Amino acid sequence: MKIVLDTNVIIAAFAARGLCSEVFEVILAEHSILLSKQILTEVQKNLKNKLRLPPSFINEIINYLLSVSEIIGTVAVEKSACRDKNDNHILGAAMSGKADIIVTGDDDLLVIKRFKNIDILSPREFWERLKK
């Protein structure tokens, strides 16, 4: 499957061992990770501002993500697609990359549940789906 990972899932995967890191590892091993430049920019900003990681380590993480992901563009989506317009780029990336699933912890995206045949799942929902 082709899967777009939202910034919050990536940050959680690198911040601590737990569900998001396990989801990341499974997707890495068995599926395709799709990321846009905007998602990578958000990841870089959050690694710096929220986790306060040193620039050299942030660069290593970004380079790693570049090496294991397919970098995709985004397409415009209607402004009303998500109640938080700042999250529309996630939907646009998923459409551009023909993703099957978006994995996110963002309630503004999760409430949509499905967008243009793309399932929007929390890390827990994704994990449960894998178990089936």
Distances (CA, A) of 15 to 3, 40, 57, 102, 115: 20, 16, 12, 20, 29
Every domain of the chain and the residues it spans = 2-127
pTM of the predicted protein model: 0.94
Say yes or no to pLDDT of 11 above 90: yes
Q: What is the pLDDT of residues 62-112, one digit of tens each?
A: 999 999 999 999 999 888 899 988 999 999 999 999 999 999 999 999 999
Fold topology of 2-127: Rossmann fold (3.40.50)
Burial of residue 106 (number of CB atoms within 10 Å: 0-12, 13-18, 19+): buried
